[in-house]
Structure 1
Amino acid sequence: MRASLQTTAEDAAPVRAGWAVRFQESLRDRRRMLEATAQDAMGLQYLFTTGAGPSVPLYRGFQARYQQAMRPPAGKSQVKPPEPEKPGCYEQLVGGPIKLLFCKPWAASTALVFACCKDDGPQPGKVIVPVRKVYIVLNQIVLTRLDTGVELPALAFNMSLDFQSWTWNWTASLHKDAALHLGRDTDGDPAQFLANVNGVPFKLRLERTSRDRRFLPQERWSVSGRGLAAVLAEPWAKSMSFGSPTQTLTAQQLAAEVLKVNGVSIGWDIDWQLEDWQVPAGAWTLQGSYIDAINDIAAAAGGYVQPHNTDQVLRILPKYPTAPWHWDDVVPDFEIPSAVAEVEGTEFVDKPDYNRVFVGGVGAGVFGPITRAGTAGELVAPQVMHALITDTTVQRQRGLAELANTNRQAILTLTMPVLPEAGVILPGKFVRYQGSETAMGIVRSTAVSWAAPRLRQTLEIETHA
């Protein structure tokens, strides 16, 4: 039995609790810094399982050309063996290093130039100017008077020579104090100077002097002249008669007799580089100076005269030592890269495309055509006559000179410093220029220009297409 419970109750009245929040206007340019924790993920690999069974062979069809077989003819069959592979420039030893072939003697130079010395490619030049980022040259030109030994520094200097000139022409600008050393020597002859162009010597004669007032208040002297060979021409040499009326001589002996007076040498020698030939007695006479006679003898065979730099020697050189259509096989005297030389210009010259010329003597000797090999000889050049064309040797040389100076030509003008490797490059030297296009040609003129401290030589090179 439970006691009863009694309680008092009434409906509750809803009461809402109040909310109190403290706040203020916050700064809107502030943001809470967010931080996150991260690390390198780990690669998750899934196991991939596949099944395999025996493969099914797949057959493909092949097609081939064929013809009806024939019975071989009687006799022996000549089987041409396969041509062996041409070796490269260097021989690779089996299992070993490369065998280097040195085709030039040792020289006291740090420039190592690797070139192919085999016959299956262009031959390297006799003097190769290496490619460098920077060429450092200490330029200097000093004129030394030979009889007194006085050195005269040149403020400016120029000299030039081409294949049609037989001596150097030069000019210089000197300080006013040089006036005391510009007179003639004790014999009354023009003074001789030794010009040292970056170590390359040249002997020159002083022929003209004048005051130069263009640089006032500093007064200078302008001097000019020619090379040693100037003594063989007017006004230093008188006009004489030359020839061999009584005996047969070779052309080289005839040139040596020109440089004699009453059988005695005048002190000059001949460096003969043409093919020699016989000249009958009385076939040739000439009235003029020594150099006029030498030039005429050289021109008969298509040659020219070039002076030695320092000695009393005249070089007799062929205008074309090799025909232009064979220049690809010529070993150049100098190989010049575009890094050291710049092209000032290219002059294109169009000449008739002759392939035959008639060459002969005057009154005596031979006469006949000279035809370029491999041509029909249908384009005939004007005939050439000279009293010294007395046999086929000189006839062939003169004919080559006439036919070589034909077709389209390009005269390339290069400017480069006077380097120790190359020096001053003379006319008649073969040059291969390695630029955007390789050009092979022969030097026709050389000009040296000095304006302290800049020294340059300018070459005109004859090239053929």
Structure 2
Amino acid sequence: MLNTVQVVRLPDRLPIDVDSVSISGGRDAWCWDLRLSLLRAEQIAELTPSATGPRQVEVTLNGYRWVFAIESFDKGQSFGQLSVSMAGRSVSALLAEPYAPARSVEVDQVRTMAQLANAEVLGSACTVEYATVDWLVTAGAWYFDSLTPMAALIRLAEGAGAVVQSHPSDPLLQIRPRYPVSPWDRTTTTPDATLQDDIVLGERLQLQSRPIFDAVIVAGEQVGVAARVRREGEAGQTYAPQQVDQLITHLDGARERGRNVLSDRGGQAVVEADIPLFHSPLELGQTGLVLPMQLVNRVTGAGAWIGLATAVRIEATRSEKAIEIIQTVTLERHYTDAS
């Protein structure tokens, strides 16, 4: 397989020569992170901030695209040779510190969760895809003090038991459930990707355990509802810590927050698998880029299980002979409910 790496400055698509690229994203990270090493140190001048803010670059690895705002650089010198590495984040970082000012807001009208999320990006280049349970939030229930738009979006997502994710290349923010599919429903859900033993270059496993909660109390603050959310078919006697949130003003919201809390229980493992990043478009049987929040079918000689991708890191390095690109996928495996 002939790997390809391309980095260009936007919008003029000026080529940037790089020696290595590292990209990472995860369920608990609202943006993608970039670190690259310049092949020609003098190109640092091409990526210093302009009058309008950070420079943006498009990174393409084997056909998969990301767009980043370059935020910092490191210079070093060894044996008289200058080296430069640069770091950046998804362009959605412009909605966070240090670029966006903190504001205080109180919404005195009834709004849906999706409407509240979309209000945070008005006037920016970003849009929001609210892809979880929606409900009406009572007038006066949603208020905050000194939050950037991104911090407010994270708070909204937390209210629904969800997380904020940045699209790799588009100015799009996705609010998605922390557990898109409950662990007990994974075996009846079509996975997004499959990892066979013959493409796994290395694998590491770390066991972890949670109490087997089967119920949780979810409640609003000054206004709202209070609900006992129970795992269907179970006694509902072992309670997870109570969840209190200003946004819980409807039973639909309480149920979804509770579902995500109860999804994180029992015996689990964190599994890291190193695999090649096959070219897009894919040939039959190949596995492409695995994105956080996707369900992955891990097929081994001992059997198969379905885990949730919680993080991915892609490393591209250049040597005298070739370019190597490896992606490391972190999977959350649940033994109690999913295996």
Structure 1 position 267 matched with structure 2 position 131: no
**More helix by proportion, 1 or 2?**
2
Deviations 1:111-132 (A, max 9, x none): xxxxxxxxxxxxxxxxxxxxxx
Q: Which has the higher contact order (CA 8 A, sep 6+)?
A: 2
In 2, the alpha carbon distance for the partners of 1:432 and 1:249 equals 39
How far does residue 342 in structure 1 lie from its aligned partner after superposition? Answer: 3.3
Partner amino acid for 1:157? V
Structure of greater Rg = 1
Structure 1 position 249 matched with structure 2 position 115: no
Structure 1 position 205 matched with structure 2 position 69: yes
In 2, the alpha carbon distance for the partners of 1:335 and 1:162 equals 19
Q: Which residue of 2 aligns with 1:192?
A: 56
Q: Which residue of 1 aligns with 2:179?
A: 320
Tell me if structure 1 keeps the 8 A contact 2:202–2:275: no
Across the aligned residues of Structure 1 and Structure 2, the Cα RMSD in angstroms comes to 1.3
In 2, the alpha carbon distance for the partners of 1:328 and 1:180 equals 52
Aligned length: 322
Q: Which residue of 2 aligns with 1:339?
A: 198
How far does residue 424 in structure 1 lie from its aligned partner after superposition? Answer: 2.1
Length-normalised TM-score, structure 1: 0.67
Partner amino acid for 2:97? E
Q: Which residue of 2 aligns with 1:225?
A: 88
**More strand by proportion, 1 or 2?**
2
Structure 1 position 144 matched with structure 2 position 2: no
Partner amino acid for 2:93? A
Q: Give the alignment of 1:17-56 within 5 angstroms.
A: none
How far does residue 343 in structure 1 lie from its aligned partner after superposition? Answer: 4.0
Structure 1 position 440 matched with structure 2 position 311: no
Which aligned segments of 4 or more residues in structure 1 are displaced greater than 6 angstroms?
A: none
Identity of matched residues, %: 27
In 2, the alpha carbon distance for the partners of 1:455 and 1:301 equals 36
Partner amino acid for 1:463? R
Length-normalised TM-score, structure 2: 0.92
Flag structure 2 segments of 5+ consecutive residues without an equivalent.
none
In 1, the alpha carbon distance for the partners of 2:332 and 2:148 equals 31
* Partner residue of 2:19 out of 145, 151, 155: 155
In 2, the alpha carbon distance for the partners of 1:200 and 1:241 equals 38
Partner amino acid for 1:441? G
Structure-2 change in CA distance of 1:176 and 1:345 (3 Å): same
| 1:309 partner SS | coil
How far does residue 242 in structure 1 lie from its aligned partner after superposition? Answer: 2.7
Tell me if structure 2 keeps the 8 A contact 1:242–1:293: no
Flag structure 1 segments of 5+ consecutive residues without an equivalent.
1-136
How far does residue 180 in structure 1 lie from its aligned partner after superposition? Answer: 2.9
